[in-house]
């Protein structure tokens, strides 16, 4: 008997090596007349911006570049960008970069069209007016923000990360070129790759996943397990880059139709209070979350172990499930990422507040194991490495 399901994917995907060179014709085909390009300065420094802007200009389309996106997107940048889009009548946004740039582009489109300020749209389904269309061009293999229905924006005044979630917020199109990820340094490849792995694992293990999303998530986990080390060790390995990029497409498709779990419930406020990159925080906490969650669905964690290349032969089902967390822990050492927060001198007095805020996340209700604030504190304390 087949299982009933609903699968959403509102974003058109243009995928392939070198496809970014067609961005001019792509924007023209979509009827764009004035394009607002959003990126961070790293994209400009890496030489990725100029050929994209030139391609759009050669298609007879006016452009303006807004490169004020920080390492973590901010409501200040979003509101400023939205004011420019609204005042100058830009009809299309092209967002180039990692998750911060792509989420900022999505949020700028929302605020420019709907008015008000970024804070007004924090939460679920507060977007009532169709945003300015966004074409997303990822330069990292990590967040899958080019396909998702959420934009995460930092509110530094309140030490929070705001989630703007709505079916209307998904990019109109994703132009996904693995070559755009080739300029990532090893540490960024590592942290964004672990971010991707955390998305795949939580999308797979949460309680609202289904047969179709499970197959996508497991394939993404396998692709990351087979290719992340190679991509980080040698950035010129285009085959590994392409496989990592494909993994993120699969994750975006599944995450669009499921949710995440306690890990992302924690790292939302965690990264708001501590100045730690989202991918690094996810990487350090992920093995501890997996050890906590494994009892909630042993069979799925066994399959993660197998997807990461280890057969359960000779192991009990429980041991094979917990082995998945050990395999993920091994990534940290191999990739040169910190294995704990020990050396980051975090103010641990903030942890109860972080736990309290994490429990308010919608991801808590779909976590495979029931969670209390004491559980969250325990996970965080183990990740401190003390």
3-state percent helix, strand, coil for the chain, nearest multiple of 5: 55, 15, 30
Model confidence pLDDT, tens digit, residues 3-15? 677 888 889 999 9
pLDDT at 30: 96
Model confidence pLDDT, tens digit, residues 340-363? 999 898 999 999 999 999 999 999
Whether 123 has a pLDDT exceeding 60, the answer reads yes
pLDDT at 3: 67
| Whole-number percent of the chain with pLDDT over 90 | 83
> Within its chain, how far is the Cα of 320 from the centroid?
28
- Which residues make Cβ contacts (< 8 Å) with residue 125, sequence separation at least 6? 165, 166
- Let me know: does 150 contact 192? Beta carbons within 8 Å: no
Whether 160 has a pLDDT exceeding 80, the answer reads no
Residues in the chain, overall count: 386
- Cα–Cα nearest to 295, from 365, 369, 242: 369
Q: b/e string for 48-57 if b means 16 or more Cβ within 10 A? A: bbeebbebbe
Dihedral of the alpha carbons of 198, 204, 205, 209, in degrees to the nearest 10: 140
pLDDT at 7: 84
Count the neighbouring beta carbons within 10 Å of the beta carbon of residue 186. 14
Considering only residues 155 and 374, tell me which one the structure prediction assigns the higher pLDDT.
374
Residue boundaries of the structural domains of the chain: 12-181, 186-384
Q: Could you confirm whether domain 12-181 is CATH 3.40.50.1970?
A: yes
pLDDT at 381: 94
Architecture per CATH, domain 186-384, reads as Up-down Bundle (1.20)
Model confidence pLDDT, tens digit, residues 244-291? 999 999 999 998 899 999 999 999 899 888 888 889 999 999 999 999
Residue tagged 């079916």 (tokens):
167
Model confidence pLDDT, tens digit, residues 286-329? 999 999 999 999 999 999 999 999 988 889 999 999 999 999 99
pLDDT at 1: 39
Model confidence pLDDT, tens digit, residues 95-116? 999 989 999 999 999 999 999 9
pLDDT at 154: 82
In what helix (H) or strand (E) does residue 124 lie, and over which residues does it extend? Answer: strand 123-124
Same CATH fold assignment for domains 12-181 and 186-384: no
Distance linking the first and last C-alpha atoms of the chain:
51
Considering only residues 73 and 249, tell me which one the structure prediction assigns the higher pLDDT.
249
**Confidence tier at 158 by pLDDT (50, 70, 90):** confident
Report the chain's mean pLDDT, rounded to a whole number: 94
Handedness of CA 127, 263, 202, 199 (dihedral sign): positive
């Amino acid at each position: 008997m087949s299982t009933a399901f609903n699968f959403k994917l509102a974003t058109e995907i243009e995928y392939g090596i070198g496809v970014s060179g067609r961005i001019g014709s792509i924007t023209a085909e979509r009827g764009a007349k004035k394009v607002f390009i959003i990126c961070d300065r790293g994209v400009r420094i890496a030489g990725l911006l100029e050929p994209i802007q030139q391609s759009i200009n050669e298609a007879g389309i006016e452009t303006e570049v807004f490169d004020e996106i920080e390492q973590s997107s901010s409501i200040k940048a979003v509101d400023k960008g939205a004011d420019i889009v609204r005042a100058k009548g830009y009809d299309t946004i092209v967002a180039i970069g990692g998750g911060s740039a792509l989420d900022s582009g999505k949020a700028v489109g929302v605020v420019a069209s709907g008015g008000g300020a970024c804070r007004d749209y924090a939460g679920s389904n507060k977007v009532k007016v169709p945003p300015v269309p966004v074409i997303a061009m990822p330069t990292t293999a990590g967040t899958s923000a080019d396909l998702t229905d959420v934009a995460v924006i930092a509110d530094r005044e309140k030490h929070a990360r705001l989630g703007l979630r709505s079916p209307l917020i998904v990019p109109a199109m994703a132009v996904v070129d693995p070559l755009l990820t080739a300029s990532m340094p090893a540490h960024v490849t590592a942290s964004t790759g672990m971010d991707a792995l955390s998305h795949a694992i939580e999308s797979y293990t949460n309680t609202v996943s289904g047969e179709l999303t499970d197959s996508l998530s497991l394939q993404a986990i396998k692709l990351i397990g087979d290719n992340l080390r190679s991509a980080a060790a040698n950035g010129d390995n285009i085959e590994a880059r392409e496989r990592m990029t494909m993994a993120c497409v699969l994750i975006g498709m599944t995450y669009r139709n499921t949710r995440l779990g306690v890990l992302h419930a924690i790292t939302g406020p965690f990264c708001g209070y501590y100045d730690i990159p989202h991918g690094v925080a996810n990487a350090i906490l992920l093995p501890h979350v997996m050890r906590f969650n494994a009892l909630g669905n042993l069979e799925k964690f066994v399959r993660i172990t197998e997807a990461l290349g280890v057969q359960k032969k000779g192991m009990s089902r429980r041991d094979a499930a917990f082995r998945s967390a050990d395999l993920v822990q091994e990534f940290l050492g191999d990739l040169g990422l910190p294995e704990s927060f020990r050396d980051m001198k975090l103010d641990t007095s903030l942890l109860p507040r972080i736990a309290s805020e994490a429990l308010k996340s919608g991801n808590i209700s779909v976590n495979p194991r029931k969670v209390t604030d004491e559980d969250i504190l325990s996970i965080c304390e183990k990740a401190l490495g003390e």
